[in-house]
Structure 1
Amino acid sequence: MSNIKERVLQIAESKKIRKTDFFKNLGLSYANFKGAQKNTGLNSDTVVTILSKYPDINPTWLIVGEGTMYRNDGSLLRDAEEIYNEPVIVNEIEYTLIDALKLVISSQEKTISSLEKQLTILESELQTLKNK
């Protein structure tokens, strides 16, 4: 399974946009998507930016890697500028961004829980070592 940064790179490839142009348009550095940096996470603001600029991307696919890359079984929506002129679609995008943020929060809560468990185990091991 790919990580979120790999999926972001897949968006650029799918849209046939040069990676440097793609990341410049998002206000991001391509360097954060190469090498060891590729294995780090993305903050929620970045996810919102990507989904705002590319509303045809399926947020569930982007965040957790499930489903298809594009909404509506791969069919592309019209350009984002046209969408913003239609109030009904804007509301749909807003709900999508809220759903995407809820997925990010849920994922972060799971990570925090896992890290808390690891911390408890490490503290226990440290105490055992101190007692020897």
Structure 2
Amino acid sequence: MKEKPIQRIKKIIEAYRLSVSAFEKRCNMSNNSIQVAIKRNANVKDETLINILEAFPDISPSWLLTGTGTMYKSESSIVAEDPITFHGVDPQYVIQIQKDYIDKLKEEIRELKK
């Protein structure tokens, strides 16, 4: 069975290491519109595809629409494999900092309740 555009959209989200919510915001889409389409493996509107191509100009329109060719317009546009190089900070490091901060806040709450 041929891959649908929604499956290629999921690949874009993964390639850019975005949450679905962040992807929707970047593409000026309503909350959960892509999330629901992914869960249902649904078709997407032309307007959605246009928004994606405007938000991600390095994505090949031919690939997004038909699956032919490569995801990126040119090899120089490929997202770096190393998250430290691409984003400047490893996402796992950010997650750990957030967990530590949450633990600190929980401890402060316990102290305030005494």
TM-score, scaled to structure 2 = 0.57
RMSD: 1.8
Following superposition, the deviation at residue 35 of structure 1 comes to 2.5
2:23 aligned with 1:7:
no
Deviations 1:7-59 (A, max 9, x none): 011001001111221123221423332332x2x22211111111011010000
Higher helix share: 1
Which segments of structure 1 move beyond 6 Å, counting only runs of 4 or more? none
Deviations 1:67-108 (A, max 9, x none): 000011x3218xxxxxxxxxxxxxxxxxxxxxxxxxxxxxxx
Structure 2: runs of 5+ lacking an equivalent? 79-114
Q: Distance in 2 between matches of 1:31 and 1:19?
A: 6
Q: Distance in 1 between matches of 2:19 and 2:39?
A: 18
2:22 aligned with 1:18:
no
Structure 1: runs of 5+ lacking an equivalent? 78-132
TM-score, scaled to structure 1 = 0.50
Q: Distance in 2 between matches of 1:14 and 1:42?
A: 19
Greater Cα shift, 47-56 or 22-31? 22-31
Match of 1:112? none
Match of 1:45? 47
Count of aligned residue pairs for this structure pair: 74
Identify the match of residue 31 of structure 1 among 28, 32, 35.
Answer: 35
Superposition map of 1:57-72 within 5 A: 57-72=59-74
Match of 1:56? 58
